[in-house]
Amino acid sequence: MLYYLFDWIDRSFDFPGAGVFQYISFRAAASMVTSLFIMLFVGKPFIRWMKNKMGMMDEVRTELGLEGAVRKSQTPTMGGVLILGAIIIPTLLFAKLDNIYVQIMLGTTMWMGLIGFLDDFLKKTRGKAGLPGKYKVLAQTMLGLVVGLLIMHHPGISGSTTTTIPFVKNNEFDYAWLVTWMGPWADNLVWVVYVAVIVLIVTAVSNASNLTDGIDGIATGVAAVNGGALALLAWVSGNVVMATYLNIMYLPNIGELAIFSTAFVGATLGFLWYNSHPAEIFMGDTGSLAIGSIIAVFAVLIKKELLLPVLCGIYVVENLSVIIQTSACKLYRRRHKLPPEQSVPVSVRPFLMTPLHHHYQKKGMAEEKVVMRFVIIAILLAIFTLSTLKLR
């Protein structure tokens, strides 16, 4: 909104300084600062309101023996509402709202935020179950389907099914190659493959973000790092000079997403102010589901989704730890014919507890150390991801 206001002021009155809003770099910085201010000034009143009026306290399973479980059971949740507000408001203020990429990201944020909010609300009002998992997956599938179809058919987007492959000199890959064996049917069915890939990415990253949100500050810290890397990737992809220099795919108008992504970074860093150990508030599924979906859709829009296994390496190992643990326990239970009420011995499990961050807690590592090491690893992965622009 401010972009259009100052653009009108600049054209109508030639007011000194009004033209600075034409620069993406300025608006991106202003978006991040605004997001931080929103979090820092609204955070405390929101936390008090959640405690006093809503009674939305988190429920932690104290029988698992995790550090600080009793204290955390008295910590308010649904802090993701703060994160969503601190992303949406600066984006509305500083971005070009007629940009289809910005519209998609705002829609993604509000849609998955709504699903997460519904899940958190049902947990507090109708018991621990919350929204059934199949409905979450359905919502993620619907999001991936809509995003894929918009990319393919919206006139403001190229409609290309080409993406970027890391570590390859001519680093472009067209999903159409996957269906070339279908002959004359290939052109008509490539969108099915492309949309299916997007659905898979959105579902996987969104759920992985949800799994990572287990101890104070870990999901927020990792998300801030990932968001910063994606902001840089969006900026260079939308800048014809930088894209040409780096020999990467130039995407017209995509640079506007830098305003959204810096708001995302500001929101996550601001939330970390209250979510760092000992946390004053948790994001809940309202935040974690939305954060994962934002990262996934953002990467798809800037044609860097194949970099996600590297950039989101923390999410990958967290997901894998759960899959390995579940599979091993099922196999052991089947081999030894354990009754349903008997648990698999801890000594034969691959991990003491999953997701992976809880394994290190069970080994006696302090929660703060686990978080800091995971964030440091996320920073290293982000640096490595950015270096793939030249490592070919």
Domain-located, residue 348: no
| Residue 68 included in any domain | yes
Structure tokens of 252?
A: 């017209």
* Prediction pTM value: 0.91
What angle, 0 to 180 degrees and rounded to 10, lies between the N-to-C axes of helices 24-49 and 218-238?
Answer: 160
Instruction: Dump the DSSP string for 264-311.
Output: HHHHHHHHHHHHSSSPS---HHHHHHHHHHHHHHHHHHTT-GGGHHHH
Per-residue pLDDT, 166: 83
Q: In 3D, which of 207, 223, 230 has the Cα closest to residue 270?
A: 223
Asked if residue 104 lies in contact with residue 234, where contact means CB atoms within 8 angstroms, the answer is no
C-alpha span between 210 and 231 (Å, rounded): 22
**Residue 115 domain-assigned?**
yes
pLDDT score at 55: 54
Q: Is residue 361 a part of any domain in this protein?
A: no
For residue 316, is it within any domain?
A: no
In a domain, 265, yes or no: yes
Question: In this structure, is residue 252 part of a structural domain?
Answer: yes
Cα dist. 239→16, 96, 227, 243 in Å?
A: 26, 16, 18, 6
> How many residues would you count in the chain?
392
The boundaries of the domain holding residue 77 are 2-308
For 306-351, how does the pLDDT look when each residue is reduced to its tens digit (9 = 90+)? 999 999 999 999 999 999 999 999 999 989 888 888 889 988 999 9
- What is residue 249's predicted lDDT score, i.e. its pLDDT? 86
CA distance 334 to 348: 14
Two structure tokens written together for 314: 């923390």
pLDDT per 10-residue tile (average), the chain, 392 residues:
69 70 86 94 90 59 52 76 95 93 96 93 78 92 94 82 82 83 77 92 94 90 95 91 86 92 96 90 92 96 94 94 93 88 88 92 91 96 90 72
* Structure token pair of residue 293: 């979906």
C-alpha span between 207 and 202 (Å, rounded): 8
* Model pLDDT, residue 58: 53
State how far the Cα of 338 lies from the Cα of 336, in Å rounded to an integer.
6
Q: Which amino acid is at 161?
A: T
Determine contact, residues 310/225, Cβ cutoff 8 Å: no
Q: What is the pLDDT of residue 269?
A: 95
Pairing of strands 162-164, 172-174: antiparallel
What residues form DSSP beta bridges with 163? 173
Q: How many CA atoms lie within 13 A of 143 on its CB side?
A: 35
The domain tally of the chain equals 1
Looking at residue 17, what DSSP letter applies? T
pLDDT of the residue at 108: 97
Q: What is the pLDDT of residue 51?
A: 79
Element (H, E) at 10: helix 2-13
Domain-located, residue 128: yes
Q: Which amino acid is at 171?
A: N
Other Cβ atoms less than 10 A from the Cβ of 380: the count is 12
What pLDDT does 62 receive?
45
